[in-house]
Amino acid sequence: MSFEYAPFTKGLIISLGLTSILAGIFDVKHYFHLQLVPHISRHHQYWRLIAHNVAFSNSSDLFIGELILYHVGVQIERHFGTRKFASFALMSTVLSILLEFLSLMLFYRVGLNYIPAGPFALLFSILYQYSRIIPSVYSFRLFGVPLNNKSFNYLLAVHLTVSNLPGSLVVALIGIFTGQIYRSDLVNLKSYRLGPGISSFSRRFLLPLIGSTRGPRRSNRAIPERPNPRLSSLQNDEVVTTARTSRSSASRLRNTAEAGTEGGTSVVREWVHELTGRPDGTTAGMRVPPEAEITQLTAMFPDISREAVVGTLQRSQNIEGAVETLLSSQT
């Protein structure tokens, strides 16, 4: 998986990593947690309501938070779209800050005075959307317990929940409640979007800072290359690819095939003859297709070279299997 179509999540991961590392290097981590007494009630440091979402206080929370963002946030951003996902993150953070402050005021007398540093509420709000939107791919049982591929992300969330009790548990519940409010659209949060000015500013100045989000280019070869340099050119002509051959490439390969068959023997048969030493060009486990089948498939698939058609017929039990192989290579 990559960050393709998820630039906001990539920027969020980079920002949280940098701020958490810098907070540890300069020994200012004690400024990023939220505490009712004495920080808010006595010193009136209300800026901590926002600052505690900027960085994590330890490396384990940072690692787990980054994993959740990578495996969960990317999928939710692709589902929402970048602009809607950024708006969702902003509204979830604002709403969770209000609920955290209210929780500290209400439950201080029962022992709640500390909320750990880090965007815990945002992570659990994203996890709630993940549980409601993204379906599971596969299921399995572990010691009789039914699980699926999403269970691993929930186990990471459980670790965050119990990392700094009771504050981490309270903020996890606040995050889930925030996600429910957003999804139910009680206060019309779904319709909110960041302004076009912020979007254009981010595309122009912030997007170049996070780098490319395109996924790695994957090969379209259906059969891997062989390391033998003597057979590399022949093997490249014979491989059936999963991409449609261009007209120029098809004509070039067709000309090469015609030039190789002027002497009455195909290139593929000469190659098989060199490997096996058999005069008829046959080998065990590989049938020799008749010329009628080769001509029929060449007419049906004019964009595929003759060598690829011959190779497919040799590897197939009959002409119907060869047709299915060539059709699947073009889809």
Tokens of 37: 């007494």
Give per-residue pLDDT as tens, 34-56: 899 888 989 999 999 999 999 99
Q: What is the pLDDT of residue 71?
A: 95
Asked if 170 and 103 touch (Cβ cutoff 8 Å), the reply is yes
The vertex-101 CA angle with 100 and 105, nearest 5°, equals 115
Beta bridge partners of 317: none
| pLDDT score, position 256 | 54
Percent over 70 (pLDDT), the chain:
78
CA 74 to centroid of chain Cα atoms: 7
Q: How far apart are the first and last CA of the chain?
A: 22
Q: What's the predicted TM-score (pTM) here? A: 0.66
Per-residue tokens: 314: 């040799």
pLDDT band at residue 125 using 50, 70 and 90 as cut-offs: very high
More confident: 247 or 180: 180
Q: Which CATH class is domain 7-210?
A: mainly alpha
- DSSP assignments along 207-263, one per residue: HHHH---PPPPPP-BSSPPPS-GGGHHHHHHHPPBSSPPPHHHHHHHHHHHHHHTTT
Q: What is the CA radius of gyration of the chain?
A: 30
- Find, among 137, 174, 171, the residue nearest to 153 by Cα: 137
Task: Tell me which DSSP letter residue 176 carries.
Answer: H
**Which residue has tokens 């500013």?**
201
Q: What is the mean pLDDT of the chain?
A: 82
Residue 287 tokens, joined: 């049938």
Cross-strand pairs, 110? none
Measured between alpha carbons, how far is 203 from 196 in angstroms, rounded to an integer? 11
Q: Which residue has the higher pLDDT, 241 or 218?
A: 218
SS3 of residue 150 by DSSP: coil
Alpha-carbon distance of 97 to 87, in angstroms, equals: 16
Q: Please report the pLDDT score of residue 55 as a whole number.
A: 94
Q: CB under 8 Å to 167, separation ≥6 — which residues?
A: 112, 114, 115, 116
Q: What is the pLDDT of residues 92-102, one digit of tens each?
A: 999 999 999 99
DSSP H or E stretch at residue 147: strand 145-148
Which residue, chain included where needed, has tokens 């505490």?
A: 35
Q: Percent of the chain, pLDDT > 90? A: 47
pLDDT of residue 14: 95
Query: Where does CATH 1.20.1540.10 sit in the chain?
Result: 7-210
pLDDT at 111: 87
Q: Could you report the per-residue pLDDT of 274-295, keeping only the tens digit for each?
A: 555 444 444 445 678 888 888 8
Residue 150, CA atoms < 13 Å, CB-side half-sphere: 14
Question: How far apart are alpha carbons 16 and 119 in whole angstroms?
Answer: 9
Coil, helix or strand at residue 277: coil
Structure token pair of residue 79: 């589902």
Strands 145-148 and 139-142: antiparallel
